[in-house]
Every structure is written in structure tokens, then in C-alpha cells.
Structure 1
Amino acid sequence: MKTVKYQFVAETIRQRILKGVYKAKSIMPDQNSLASEFNVSRLTVKKALDLLAHEGLIYKQSGLGTIVLGVIPIKAANDSPANAFDGLSQQHTGEKVESKIISFEVHFPNQDLQTKLDIKKDDPVYEIRRLRILNGDPLILEHTFMPVKLVPGLNEDILHKSVYGYLHQQLHLKFGGAYRKIRATLPDKLDIKYLQAQKNDPMLEFEEIVWLNNGENIEYATSRNRYDKRSYTVLDVNDF
């Protein structure tokens, strides 16, 4: 999938931070200077900086500018932001992300799904099971439900690439928020088969309901991964 401008800007700045071009605790160039350098709008620069702030690489302080935090010592390569609204492909730009479709169906929702997605019994939903593979290594087992009326045209070609990329770039949908729950559990048969989990391996299950900026619920999903393959992080910033 084509890299959009803000992702290119973010990746360039990210590499500068990681390589020490922008040193930890230093003040970064202002947004106008970066916009001029990359020949993009300030809005594009802001979006790139928001992404890097979300990753914990920088910190935007009113009155001071953008401070480089550098690499947080406890941060690991398999960390994933628990409050992210981008998909795996966007989180691992430059790496090989693959999707294996286990099942893809359209059906009418049961009472539980009607409640979770706030839809009627005659509103069809997509039910998707995918194995997400990162650099050849099975990483996440996803089980996703989406209302067909909000995501027209979803097909296997899109599922093999990036669903969130399709939502944002093709359908121009914007997320408004999400409620997420993380729990520890034991592996089931699918975890053992697709994630190569052992029967006593702890599993992390990530459950979420995501809604659009107009308040409509667009996704109910669970994703599962082995305890040794992925961890979830939250970056807290005190704005007071």
C-alpha cells in the first residue's frame, strides 16, 4: 500500500531520532521549518508529530515546542500501543506484514452482536478471522465483526492488505474513539493451530468496540497473541 505523506515525514523523523540526529532532550525544529523542508502542509507535519508522540519518541510541550524523548529504556520491539487507531501495516511500515484469511462470511447478527454494534437484527455483518504475520512470524489472531452498511465493498483482496487502510484512504472514514479491554487467558484450539501456542502458554486477548466520529459503531473485535510475541503499552502525558 502506498505510503501517505504524513507517514513518510514521520518515518524520516523517527529515523533521525533513532540515529541521534535529533538528540534526546533537545528541541526539534518547529512545524513551519519541517513543513518547508518536506514541502508539505503544517497539518501533515502535525499529523506526523502526533504519531511520533503517540509512540513516545517526542513530547509536545506548550510554550517550549517539541521535545525529543528518544528511546524509552523499557520499550521493546514487540510493544504495540493499546490506544492506537492505525492498523498493523501502519505500525510496522517497512516490514513485511501479511494476512492469512481463515474465514470471511456475511450473515445477520445475533442478539449479542446487535448490542455490541448497536445495529438491528436485519443489518448484515462481516465476520472475519485473519492470522496476521509479521516478517514471516505468526503474530496475531483476529476475529472481527463490521456492519456491511458502513464498510461497503470489503473483499478478500482488501483483507490480504490493510482493512484500516481501506477504511481511511478509500472510504474516508474517521474513527471517533474506542473502548478496549485486555485480559490474560489460556490458549484455545485456534491459538495452538495458528499461533503455535503450547497448551499452557498464557495468551493476551484484546477486545474492543470502535466507533466513528459520528458515533456509529463500526467494529467489534478480539485479537489474541502469545505472551512472548507482543505486549501492549499506554503512553500517559500530563497536560496540566
Structure 2
Amino acid sequence: MTTEAKYLKVARILQKRIEDGVYKTQAPLPDQKTLADELQVSRLTVKKALDGLQRKGLVYKESGLGTFVLGPVPIQDKFDSPANAFSGLANLLGSDEVTSDIIEFNVEFPSEDIQHYLKLKSSDPVYNIRRLRRLEGKPLILEHTFMPVHLVPNLTEDILHNSIYNYLHHDLKLKFGVAYRKIKAAKADDWDQKYLKAKKDDPILELEQIVWLNNGQPVEYSTSRNRYDERNYVVLETNSF
């Protein structure tokens, strides 16, 4: 089992304990060493799991005191998605629940905008990927992604039907460093109407992002669009001072 899979598994275990009331609201969680020993993983794996739970709004950290259960957030919805997550849709919502329809999958030379976003030359080929992500068979997100071929070699349709991020992290051993994300409202375009079943005047929520590897190279420019009534983006902020 990979480190990535371990921290996701630990996060699911801890989340279930919180939901089942094993860990009470406002009470501290066991310290990282205790959890690591119990679950037979490293403290780094536990830390990554807790970081993910914090982004989801389930726990919060107090400097020098530990990690505490936040408890149910009254305005939280099951389709809320952390705006600062790196794990990808399949890992957030469950790989068994998320499927992908490939609408476009081409290798081409980048436009001027994509050259600028990904720091490429006009002769550097990129993948142009458009996918419809479904949750339990229902259209949820329309993704349009560009990635440099030289950084992400041998991308296949089989990978696109599953998780690109798992391929990057597990197979290519690439690590994300920074992501800049912009969330904005838009009107439904022809793609949204066709694939998201949006009406012509429906508002659309769009997340635009650039992701850099930990060596500073941009590896992804993408937009993710969903209907206004299908998904929200959330941020949990804590004041540890």
C-alpha cells in the first residue's frame, strides 16, 4: 500500500469515528504518536490524514495543544468540497462513486494562453483533456485540463477513466507544491447545457487553477465547472494565535 493510500485510509477511519461519536465534539483527538502506533502507520501519514480532515471542516488544530473535533458544521453539505485540497475528486468523494466520461483527449501544441500558464514553448506538446465527472452516475463536474506531455508521459484513456492525480503521485512519483485557485460565477455555455444538463440561464460555478510541482514547474492548468445547485467550495480557517 502506498503512503498516499495509507493517509486516505487513516482519514476515513478517523472521520467515521467522528461521525459515530467515538471522538466527541470539542474534545481532543489522541496525539499523532498514539494514532500512528494504533493504526500501524507513520506519524507523517497521520499528519496528512489530519490535514485532510481539517480541510473538510471536521477538526481544527490548536498550536501546542493538539487536534480537536469541530463537530457538525450547521451549514455544511455533503457535496461541499475543500477549495484547498490536492487529492482529486475520486479521493474526496470515493473512487467507487466517481466515474469519468472522456469527451476530448488530444495531444496538441499549446495556445498562447496555455504557453503562458504552463511556462511552455509553442513547440511543447500538451494534453487537452475534457472529462465529465459523474457521482453515482449523475453529471457533477465538467473538467477541462491541460498538462505538458514531457511532465506527464504515457497518459492513457484507462487513466482518464480513473484518477489522473493517482497516476501522477503513485506511478510518476510527482509531488504537488503549490496551487493557485480562482472561484467565480459564470453563465451556462453550450458545453454546460449539453453535459451538465444546465439551463441556458443557469449560474455555473467555475474553479480555475494552476498547479505547480514541488520543484516549481507548472504541471496543470484546468477549469472545473458545475451547476450552482450541485457543488460548493469551502475553506476552513483557524486562528491558532
Q: If the length of structure 1 is used for normalisation, what is the TM-score?
A: 0.96
Structure 1 residue 87: Cα displacement: 0.5
Structure 1 residue 89: Cα displacement: 0.5
Unaligned runs of 5+ in 2: none
* Counterpart residue type for residue 80 of structure 2: D
Structure 1 residue 131: Cα displacement: 0.1
- Cα contact 2:61–2:238 (8 A) shared by 1: no
Secondary structure of the residue aligned to 1:4 is: helix
Q: Cα 1:140–1:18, aligned 2, differ >3 Å: closer, same or farther?
A: same
2:6 aligned residue: 5
* Counterpart residue type for residue 228 of structure 1: D
Residues 1:154 and 2:155 are matched in the alignment: yes
- Cα contact 1:109–1:123 (8 A) shared by 2: yes
Structure 1 residue 191: Cα displacement: 0.6
2:80 aligned residue: 79
* Counterpart residue type for residue 235 of structure 1: L
Q: Cα 1:211–1:94, aligned 2, differ >3 Å: closer, same or farther?
A: closer
Output aligned runs, 1:58-77, within 5 Å: 58-77=59-78
1:195 aligned residue: 196
Deviations 1:42-78 (A, max 9, x none): 1111111111111111112122111111121111111
Secondary structure of the residue aligned to 2:8 is: helix
* Counterpart residue type for residue 169 of structure 2: H
Output aligned runs, 1:23-172, within 5 Å: 23-93=24-94, 95-172=96-173
Structure 1 residue 7: Cα displacement: 1.1
- Once residues 210 and 8 of structure 2 are traced to their aligned partners in structure 1, the CA distance between those partners, rounded to angstroms, is 25
* Counterpart residue type for residue 183 of structure 1: K
Percent identity, aligned pairs only, is: 60
Q: If the length of structure 2 is used for normalisation, what is the TM-score?
A: 0.96
Secondary structure of the residue aligned to 1:66 is: strand
- Once residues 58 and 234 of structure 1 are traced to their aligned partners in structure 2, the CA distance between those partners, rounded to angstroms, is 13
* Counterpart residue type for residue 114 of structure 1: Q
- Once residues 207 and 94 of structure 1 are traced to their aligned partners in structure 2, the CA distance between those partners, rounded to angstroms, is 23
Instruction: After the TM superposition, list the runs of 4 or more consecutive aligned residues in structure 1 that deviate by more than 3 angstroms.
Output: none
Secondary structure of the residue aligned to 2:230 is: coil
Structure 1 residue 239: Cα displacement: 3.1
- Cα contact 1:95–1:134 (8 A) shared by 2: no
* Counterpart residue type for residue 216 of structure 1: Q
Secondary structure of the residue aligned to 1:206 is: strand
Structure 1 residue 103: Cα displacement: 0.7
Structure 1 residue 8: Cα displacement: 1.1
2:230 aligned residue: 229
- How many residue pairs were aligned? 240
Structure 1 residue 95: Cα displacement: 4.6
* Counterpart residue type for residue 207 of structure 1: E
Structure 1 residue 6: Cα displacement: 1.1
- Cα contact 2:52–2:85 (8 A) shared by 1: no
2:183 aligned residue: 182
- Once residues 181 and 230 of structure 1 are traced to their aligned partners in structure 2, the CA distance between those partners, rounded to angstroms, is 15
Deviations 1:165-199 (A, max 9, x none): 11111111111111111111111111111101011
- Once residues 95 and 226 of structure 1 are traced to their aligned partners in structure 2, the CA distance between those partners, rounded to angstroms, is 22
Root-mean-square deviation (Å): 1.4
- Once residues 193 and 183 of structure 2 are traced to their aligned partners in structure 1, the CA distance between those partners, rounded to angstroms, is 20
